[in-house]
Amino acid sequence: MKSITRYCLTLIAIAILSSCDSFLEEKVVSGVSYDFFETKTGMESAVNGAYTTMRWYVGGERYYCFNEYGVDYIWEGADGGQKDAFNKYSVQMNSGHGLLYEFWENNFKGINRINTALMYLPKVVDMTEAEKRSREGELRFMRAYFYYDLVQHFGPIPLNLEGNVTEIVTDFKRAPVADIYQAIITDLRFASEALPDVAQQSQRGRATKWAATNLLAKVYLTRGSAVNDSRGQKATDMDSVIVYANAVISSGKFALTPDYQTFFDQKLHKTTSEVIFAIEFTGEVLFNGDGNKMHLYWVPTYENLPGLQRDLLQGRAWKRVRPTPHFQANIFDRLNDSRLYKMFKWAFPANRESSIPVWQSKYYYIDADGKTTADLLYEPPAELVGKPKFKVGDTAAYFIPKYYGAKDIKGAIISVEADKQMQTDIAKATYTLIPVDNNTNHFYPCLWKWIDVERPDMNYEQGSRNFIRMRFAETYLIAAEAYGRKGDYDKAAEYINVVRKRAAYKEGEIKPKEWTTVDNGAPANLTASTEQEILVTPADISADFIAFMLDERCREMFGEMNRWEDLVRTETLYDRVLKFNPDAAANIKPYHKLRPIPQNHIDRLSPKPPDNEAQNEGYY
């Protein structure tokens, strides 16, 4: 597989993609008619073109704004033009916001391409019926994919399942959410039967039976999670989740990678057995389009710290998104769960000798107003004074995942003694020590999951990491949640423990130094397994099962662009934002569980519908 590229369809010229020796390479052929789609070459081009639409999500500052801002365990970084609208739910979150229309336009563009291809598919004369069925499965999988993303954010939306290349339509009525979910399920059930029974097709990036089956399980979970919302939920939805998730689990096609961290290794992530469906990118610049730019957004401004400058391995700091102190400090069992240490880059090695700091003679306490007091915190040995604190290659900055208890969730100091202890530790450190309490929107641990070290240089933006949309660990969590919602906590714990066992430290694995120095682990157990200690029992999860599952999904899938959808799906967005995200708590309202319908779409409607039919509650 080389790449996925843009595909544009108009009435006077059709930009098509060749289907020669690689999947979705770009070749522009103008002056062709719609009859072209009645050929195998034309149909392959149409299917390939629909896939390229999936790349929009990570080709810029897009999908993370929808799914990582404005949630419970993620805060905004220092920069980014979407923060107020999406993270703070300000008045900028309105129908005129350009990013809303980009999302809307991209997905409906994909749907329209798919509908056109489905309209012409029966007319293709040089494809076998088996080939047609397989391509129909791909097209209907993608249509379900686009509608599923849209309905979660916008609620009632136009539902169009027919191709149309001759008429201009301006009367798009919004379909009930229940109808949209039923259409999604119908498409996915067809796709799960029509698509190849393989883990990955030979042309990677194409949908398979198991991608459709896995998405079907998640769609049933989303529909069936509703209690107050009306999604057309049925009493059998959780049974359906279990059937389809277990089909993926028992297929024998997938396996968890042995170590949590290696799943995100860039050299392995395109071939790992844990990936069920991914949107493909390539290192070939000609075919990579906008690329995958997610590597930019989770990186702190490390280059502004002493002894550091920007380099390729440590990433380019656009500082858009950061974990909250509560997430770092309180939701992990850090003695037994390795995921917190393995998903973040905590230490940054010195790479700039000219800015390495020297030891001062004395370090004083800084009070709550930022003023230096007479309280002496630390006086280094005389032989250190004036000498560099570290050398190139040593740790220059370390973001320590320890909660000192010195500040409340709004940043106010609640314990002067704890604050003094924190500042003493910072003063004594041979590097720039940044405890979780001292994290700012510039300085915070860096999420490994998106870092792209295979870019040509340190300033290059168009990354080539794949966008993994479905992975096997989530399948277990999907099944576990369905069992728990049915009251079967024994089975739920069994499935959760498959994921948690992978998250444990293995026998012989050397734990990070923080295990003893920060988390008070016993040195004698430094290489001991924690597999038994990390497992949960039914009693551990049953008291507040949905809250447990939300935290477990976050522990496993933090930063993978699903959090906002998880909170909306479980009808917990409003309450959890109020509890955990002071940035958003001031403005969020219950109606923010849906986005506003883009004004660009509404303005094109004729005849004009009433506001309450055209727009979501709270936005008119």
pLDDT in tens, 80-99: 878 899 999 999 999 999 99
Helix intervals (H) in 156-289:
177-194, 209-225, 237-249
DSSP state of 32: -
* Cα 294 to Cα 55: distance, rounded to the nearest angstrom: 12
DSSP state of 374: E
3-state secondary structure of 289: coil
pLDDT at site 25:
44
3-state secondary structure of 66: helix
pLDDT at site 4:
33
Q: Under a CB-based contact definition with an 8 Å cutoff, are residues 141 and 187 in contact?
A: yes
Whether 222 has a pLDDT exceeding 50, the answer reads yes
* Cα 580 to Cα 603: distance, rounded to the nearest angstrom: 37
HEC string of 153-164? Answer: HHCCEECCCCCC
Banded pLDDT at 284 (limits 50, 70, 90): confident
Lowest mean pLDDT among 25-39, 114-128, 225-239, 570-584: 25-39
* Cα 106 to Cα 142: distance, rounded to the nearest angstrom: 13
Lowest mean pLDDT among 25-29, 284-288, 535-539: 25-29
pLDDT at site 403:
66
pLDDT at site 12:
23
Q: What percent of the chain has pLDDT over 70?
A: 94
| Section 534-555 average pLDDT | 98
Banded pLDDT at 301 (limits 50, 70, 90): very high
* Cα 248 to Cα 216: distance, rounded to the nearest angstrom: 11
Classify each residue of 23-39 as buried b or exposed e, where b means 16 or more C-beta atoms within 10 Å of its C-beta. bbbbeeeeeeebebbbb
Burial, 178: exposed, middle or buried (Cβ in 10 Å; 0-12, 13-18, 19+)? middle
pLDDT at site 136:
98
pLDDT at site 32:
54
Whether 306 has a pLDDT exceeding 80, the answer reads yes
| Section 315-326 average pLDDT | 94
Whether 287 has a pLDDT exceeding 90, the answer reads no
Report CA-CA distances (Å) from 558 to 96, 188, 449, 593: 30, 27, 9, 20
Residue 139 or 1, more confident? 139
Lowest mean pLDDT among 234-243, 350-359, 401-410: 401-410
Lowest mean pLDDT among 133-147, 167-181, 202-216: 167-181
Half-sphere exposure of 265 (CA within 13 A, CB side): 13
Q: Under a CB-based contact definition with an 8 Å cutoff, are residues 49 and 17 in contact?
A: yes
Banded pLDDT at 28 (limits 50, 70, 90): very low
pLDDT at site 164:
81
* Cα 90 to Cα 620: distance, rounded to the nearest angstrom: 15
Helix intervals (H) in 291-365:
325-330, 339-343
3-state secondary structure of 59: coil
| Section 450-474 average pLDDT | 95
pLDDT at site 26:
39
HEC string of 376-439? Answer: EEECCCCCCECCECCCCCCEEEEEECCCCCCECCCCCECCHHHHHHHHHHHHHCCCEEEEHHHC
Query: Rounded mean pLDDT of the chain?
Result: 92
* Cα 481 to Cα 409: distance, rounded to the nearest angstrom: 29
| Terminal alpha carbon distance of the chain | 46
Whether 261 has a pLDDT exceeding 90, the answer reads yes
Q: Token match 């998104």: residue?
A: 321
Cα angle 98, 102, 105; round to 5: 130
Question: Nearest-CA neighbor of 514 among 389, 388, 365, 328?
Answer: 328
Question: Nearest-CA neighbor of 45 among 13, 12, 8?
Answer: 8
Whether 213 has a pLDDT exceeding 50, the answer reads yes
| The two three-digit tokens of residue 358, written as one number | 């020297």
Sign of CA dihedral 548, 553, 556, 560: negative
Whether 11 has a pLDDT exceeding 70, the answer reads no
User: Across-strand partners of 174?
Assistant: 158
* For the chain, domain boundaries: 8-293+597-614, 294-450
User: Given the DSSP bridges, would you call strands 344-345 and 446-447 parallel, antiparallel or unpaired?
Assistant: antiparallel
Banded pLDDT at 1 (limits 50, 70, 90): very low
User: Given the DSSP bridges, would you call strands 432-435 and 395-400 parallel, antiparallel or unpaired?
Assistant: parallel
3-state secondary structure of 266: coil
Q: pLDDT tens across 329-343, in order?
A: 899 999 999 999 999
Q: Token match 């704004």: residue?
A: 65
Which H helix or E strand runs over 607?
none
pLDDT at site 27:
45
* Cα 233 to Cα 240: distance, rounded to the nearest angstrom: 11
pLDDT at site 409:
64
Lowest mean pLDDT among 57-61, 366-370, 406-410: 406-410
Report CA-CA distances (Å) from 590 to 247, 503, 565: 36, 35, 15
* Cα 52 to Cα 45: distance, rounded to the nearest angstrom: 11
Q: Which amino acid is at 142?
A: M
Q: Class assignment of domain 8-293+597-614? A: mainly alpha
* Cα 413 to Cα 367: distance, rounded to the nearest angstrom: 10
* Cα 111 to Cα 122: distance, rounded to the nearest angstrom: 18
Q: Which amino acid is at 485?
A: R
* Cα 249 to Cα 401: distance, rounded to the nearest angstrom: 34
* Cα 438 to Cα 461: distance, rounded to the nearest angstrom: 29
Question: Nearest-CA neighbor of 275 among 469, 498, 127?
Answer: 469
Question: Nearest-CA neighbor of 82 among 101, 102, 62, 96?
Answer: 62
The residues, any chain, with a CB within 8 Å of residue 97's CB and separated by 6 or more, are 85, 596, 598
Q: pLDDT tens across 140-157, in order?
A: 999 999 999 999 999 999
Q: Under a CB-based contact definition with an 8 Å cutoff, are residues 60 and 562 in contact?
A: no
